[in-house]
Amino acid sequence: MMTAVDNDEISSVVVYSFSRFARSTTHLLTALQVFKKKNVHFVSLTEKIDTNSAVGVAIFSILASISQLERDLIADRVKIGLANARAKGKLIGRKKLRDSDLIRKLLKAGMTYRQIATISRCSHGSVHAEVVAIKKEIELQRQKEAQIVPEVVSEDKTVVFPAIDKPADLCNSKPEPS
């Protein structure tokens, strides 16, 4: 449509709602400037705004800003909701249908992705996803092992404990029950 506006093929743009025309205030205002330069009228039916007048342009800008704010707030709420659900242990997304145990056994047996996919009745992409999951598990295990620092016993039978970076760690830790 903007190409048609640039080629002077359109004299006015009529939209149901300006939020359907563009997703950001910047895009709306840029398009409005192009429309003004090309003498193209912009009319929004829902908001009953005609940008031919100065008041129409001002109201258009204000409503576009509020619309952008509303979209940003909705996106923030969704992100917070997903984080909250993950923190509560909810699984987000589709339920995994592949037989992970079978795929892992067949991988250990040295079979190809296609052979495993045929036997386990899944796609070779699912087999690859399982390989990626295995690699993530191995990496997490390595990170956990790196965090555990064994105590060192010196030759004179004294125990040397690992250094603590922050003294605050002592205050925040809970005592072990005896």
pLDDT digits (tens, 9 = 90+) for 114-162: 999 999 999 989 999 999 999 999 999 988 888 765 555 556 666 556 5
118 and 50 together in one domain: no
What are the distances in angstroms from CA 22 to CA 46, 51, 146, 157? 15, 16, 50, 73
Residue 164 is assigned to a structural domain of this protein:
no
60 and 105 together in one domain: no
Mention every residue, 6+ apart, whose C-beta is less than 8 A from residue 39.
Answer: 11
Q: In whole angstroms, give the CA distance from residue 166 to residue 163.
A: 9
78 and 110 together in one domain: no
79 and 37 together in one domain: yes
82 and 110 together in one domain: no
What are the distances in angstroms from CA 17 to CA 2, 37, 72, 150? 17, 22, 18, 65
65 and 105 together in one domain: no
76 and 106 together in one domain: no
Residue 57 is assigned to a structural domain of this protein:
yes
105 and 140 together in one domain: yes
Residue 165 is assigned to a structural domain of this protein:
no
What total number of domains does the chain contain?
Answer: 2
Q: In which residue are the tokens 């010196």 written? A: 154
pLDDT of residue 156: 63
What percent of the chain shows pLDDT beyond 70? 83
35 and 110 together in one domain: no
Range of the domain at 124: 100-147
60 and 125 together in one domain: no
Tens digits of residue pLDDT in 42-71: 888 887 777 777 787 787 778 777 877 888
